[in-house]
């Protein structure tokens, strides 16, 4: 039996639709397709095939699948936009001839019809998993259809969303599109899935409905139905049985800020008219084009390693040029900051030549891959320079930054290699040594970008992946904020008289309260996931620079991350 989460425990996941939600957890009812009396699976050594049984099974499956498809069509007719598209696509999947054929194959082996449906589904799921990417994310759709067809074959009600008699948070291993498409945002305040990815249908529909949503929340099954939880999708956390007063206040403040965000269209500016450079974090061409269609003023972090995570071999020069040109071209007149491959730690790249390490977060990652193969970075810089020339205009000298820089030597060497190719060099500030000795780094680079996720991990000596250490890896940690102030102060009066831009591209920038603090600390740009842009933009529109400075002072003078957050939230009102 799963051990239940304790009060105050924090579960981590990936936020896909920013926002806070507080209420009782309600689990999706998803009966295992083979619950109940086990239907006969295909025997290992099939005897003579009972043709009549095969035919009966084929007809029963076809009828059940058609009923499920009809119901999906009916729901599609009542839905709009992406919800309708998703429901229709799943109705088509339910009528798929290949699926029916695979079921018949299993029936011919002697399986009962329910078992045949499950076996056929799992055979497709295995194929989808092998292909990976978006195809793998369709496995949930497929299994959901199978569960519905099996329920229909057994004369049971359709599995799915529980009835909500009060507003709450929907929890699931993964949600099927047929579930998400019919959700009522007045009752479903938040969605958390133990599995799923940022491009899964759950994420797409939650975004359309404006429901805060998290996926890949490992350990969620330890949360019992009815337990009160606080979901903070921007921070990627679910707090089990949080302190009621502050949790309710935070959720209410967030509800108001989401209402403001829904009408915010940019460009970003503070209430006193002070312009803010609000940029997007992206990982591929689709993301860059989606960002360009919204209020982003450019790209502050293009995580190139995420575009190549599933690659066994290094992408060719031409492949890289095509990808980079697409991302640069999405903002042909504005700043696009590309980060060189941040391979290693939680993002191993098969082609980067890393070996297993005991402590990969402190090992060969980011720029340190130079130790194994300097050519990898050189080839990436060549491709980026070529993409810049191809796009031209404002992108003819692309901004590029290196992750995990720790020494002045690394910064100088990186900058030389960039300048030699006509690129504009910067470095990430995520190793504390850079923040502590920032004045020594500034003469070599044209910009800095603070990666608060890693900076916090390394300042607090706490693994960012550890759910038990979530309170320590909170970017509101006053020690982290003090380092950011040191960096911003130094960059504002660089020894050679230049004012060096300092951005923040970690998750800290996506927290509307913390975004105000960061501007108050002197940061010159913020880069956040595209979905979080309106939340941050709307929050900034409600405060002046002087207020931001006051919020920064309050946060710096706090002893804990929690005190800092609570005090700034109270001051913002
Ligand atoms: C932006 C950052 O990098 P990563 O992609 O490792 O989160 C960070 O560390 O804040």
Q: How far is CA 462 from CA 17, 366, 466, 564, in A?
A: 26, 19, 8, 19
* pLDDT-based confidence at residue 34 (cuts at 50, 70, 90): very low
Ligand 1 center–CA 452 separation, angstroms: 7
Using a 6 Å cutoff on CB, does residue 344 contact ligand 1?
no
Using a 6 Å cutoff on CB, does residue 451 contact ligand 1?
yes
Q: Radius of gyration of the chain from Cα atoms?
A: 26
Rounded to 5°, the CA angle 564-463-430 comes to 70
pTM over 0.90: no
Ligand 1 atom closest to 305 (CA): 5
pLDDT given for residue 38 in this prediction: 46
* pLDDT-based confidence at residue 36 (cuts at 50, 70, 90): very low
Ligand 1 atom closest to 403 (CA): 3
Ligand 1 atom closest to 508 (CA): 10
pLDDT given for residue 403 in this prediction: 97
**More confident: 251 or 160:** 251
The pair phi, psi for residue 279, each rounded to 5°, is -115, 170
Pick from 75-84, 412-421, 528-537: least confident? 75-84
User: In this structure, which residue's CA is closest to atom 2 in ligand 1?
Assistant: 451
Please confirm, yes or no, whether 505 is among the known catalytic residues.
yes
**Which mutation among 406, 454, 508 tests ligand 1's pocket best, with the greatest number of atoms within 8 A of CB?**
454
User: In this structure, which residue's CA is closest to atom 7 in ligand 1?
Assistant: 453
Among all chains, which residue has been given the structure tokens 């057994």?
154
**Which mutation among 281, 341, 453, 529 tests ligand 1's pocket best, with the greatest number of atoms within 8 A of CB?**
453
Ligand 1 atom closest to 430 (CA): 9
Ligand 1 center–CA 96 separation, angstroms: 42
Catalytic residue among 146, 193, 505, 548: 505
Q: Given a cut of 70, is residue 4 above it in pLDDT? A: no
Pick from 92-106, 127-141, 194-208, 217-231: least confident? 194-208
Residues 361-418 pLDDT 10s: 999 999 999 999 999 999 999 999 999 999 999 899 999 999 999 999 999 999 999 9
**Are 438 and 490 in contact, with CB atoms under 8 Å apart?**
yes
Tokens found for residue 27: 């689990």
Q: Given a cut of 70, is residue 117 above it in pLDDT? A: yes
Please confirm, yes or no, whether 201 is among the known catalytic residues.
yes
Residues 61-70 pLDDT 10s: 999 999 999 9
Burial class (CB in 10 A: 0-12, 13-18, 19+), 351: middle
Tokens found for residue 447: 């910009």
Q: Mean pLDDT in the chain?
A: 88
Ligand 1 center–CA 307 separation, angstroms: 15
Catalytic residue among 146, 193, 201, 548: 201
Q: Which sign, positive or negative, has the C-alpha torsion 165, 168, 172, 174?
A: positive
Ligand 1 center–CA 504 separation, angstroms: 10
Q: Given a cut of 50, is residue 33 above it in pLDDT? A: no
Using a 6 Å cutoff on CB, does residue 454 contact ligand 1?
yes
**Are 239 and 13 in contact, with CB atoms under 8 Å apart?**
no
Q: Given a cut of 90, is residue 514 above it in pLDDT? A: yes
Ligand 1 center–CA 506 separation, angstroms: 5
Give the whole-angstrom CA distance, residue 247 versus residue 453.
23
User: In this structure, which residue's CA is closest to atom 3 in ligand 1?
Assistant: 451
**Are 188 and 162 in contact, with CB atoms under 8 Å apart?**
no
**More confident: 164 or 116:** 116
Average pLDDT over residues 254-261: 84
**More confident: 301 or 311:** 301
- What lies within 8 Å, CB to CB, of 533 at 6+ separation is 266, 278, 280, 294, 295, 296
Q: Given a cut of 50, is residue 1 above it in pLDDT? A: no
Give the whole-angstrom CA distance, residue 507 versus residue 475.
8
pLDDT given for residue 560 in this prediction: 93
Using a 6 Å cutoff on CB, does residue 506 contact ligand 1?
yes
Using a 6 Å cutoff on CB, does residue 430 contact ligand 1?
yes
Q: How far is CA 495 from CA 208, 492, 573, in A?
A: 48, 10, 39
* pLDDT-based confidence at residue 158 (cuts at 50, 70, 90): confident
Ligand 1 atom closest to 449 (CA): 1
- What lies within 8 Å, CB to CB, of 201 at 6+ separation is 86, 137, 140, 141, 175, 176, 177, 180
* CB count in 10 Å sphere of residue 81: 12
Residues 165-193 pLDDT 10s: 789 999 998 876 667 666 888 889 999 99
């Amino acid at each position: 039996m799963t051990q239940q989460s304790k009060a105050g425990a924090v579960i981590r996941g990936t936020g896909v639709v920013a926002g806070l939600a507080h209420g009782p957890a309600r689990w999706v009812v998803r009966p295992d397709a083979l619950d109940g009396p086990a239907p006969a699976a295909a025997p290992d050594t099939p005897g003579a095939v009972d043709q009549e049984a095969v035919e009966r099974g084929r007809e029963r499956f076809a009828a059940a699948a058609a009923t499920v498809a009809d119901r999906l069509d009916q729901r599609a007719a009542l839905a709009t936009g992406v919800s309708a598209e998703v429901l229709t696509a799943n109705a088509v999947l339910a009528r798929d001839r290949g699926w029916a054929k695979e079921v018949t194959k299993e029936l011919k082996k002697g399986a009962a019809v329910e078992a045949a449906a499950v076996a056929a589904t799992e055979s497709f799921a295995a194929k989808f998993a092998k292909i990976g990417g978006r195809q793998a994310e369709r496995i949930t759709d497929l299994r959901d259809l199978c569960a519905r067809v099996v329920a229909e074959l057994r004369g049971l009600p359709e599995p799915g969303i529980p009835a909500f008699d009060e507003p709450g948070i929907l929890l699931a291993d993964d949600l099927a599109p047929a579930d998400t498409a019919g959700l009522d945002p007045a009752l479903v305040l938040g969605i958390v899935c133990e599995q799923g990815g940022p491009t899964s249908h759950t994420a797409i529909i939650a975004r359309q409905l404006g429901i805060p949503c998290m996926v890949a929340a490992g350990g969620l099954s330890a949360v019992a139905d009815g337990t009160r939880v606080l979901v903070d999708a921007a921070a990627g956390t679910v707090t089990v049985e949080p302190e009621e007063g502050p949790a309710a206040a935070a959720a209410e403040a967030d509800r108001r800020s989401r209402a403001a965000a829904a009408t915010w269209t940019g460009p970003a500016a503070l209430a006193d008219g002070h312009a803010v450079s609000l940029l997007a974090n992206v990982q591929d061409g689709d993301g860059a084009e989606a960002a360009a269609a919204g209020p982003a003023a450019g790209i502050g972090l293009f995580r190139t390693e995420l575009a190549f995570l599933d690659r066994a071999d290094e992408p060719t020069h031409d492949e890289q040029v095509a990808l980079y040109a697409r991302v640069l071209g999405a903002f042909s007149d504005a700043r696009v900051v590309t980060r060189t491959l941040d391979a290693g730690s939680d993002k191993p790249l098969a082609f980067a030549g890393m070996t297993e390490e005991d402590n990969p977060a402190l090992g060969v990652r980011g720029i340190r891959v130079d130790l194994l193969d300097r050519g990898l970075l050189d080839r990436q810089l060549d491709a980026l320079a070529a993409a810049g020339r191809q796009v031209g205009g404002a992108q003819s000298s692309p901004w590029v930054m290196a992750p995990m820089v720790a020494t002045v030597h690394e910064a100088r060497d990186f900058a030389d290699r960039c300048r030699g190719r006509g690129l504009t060099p910067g470095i990430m500030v995520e190793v504390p040594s850079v923040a502590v000795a920032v004045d020594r780094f500034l003469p070599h680079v044209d910009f800095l970008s603070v990666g608060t996720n890693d900076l916090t991990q390394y300042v607090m000596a706490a693994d960012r992946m550890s759910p038990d250490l979530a309170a320590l890896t909170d970017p509101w940690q006053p020690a982290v904020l003090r380092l950011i102030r040191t960096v911003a102060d130094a960059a504002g009066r660089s020894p050679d008289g230049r004012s060096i831009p300092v951005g923040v591209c970690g998750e800290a920038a996506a927290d509307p309260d913390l975004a105000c603090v960061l501007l108050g600390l002197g940061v010159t740009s913020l880069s956040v996931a595209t979905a979080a842009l309106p939340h941050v933009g709307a929050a900034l529109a409600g405060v002046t620079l002087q207020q931001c400075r006051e919020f920064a002072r309050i946060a710096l003078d706090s002893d804990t991350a929690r005190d800092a957050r609570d005090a700034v939230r109270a001051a913002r009102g």
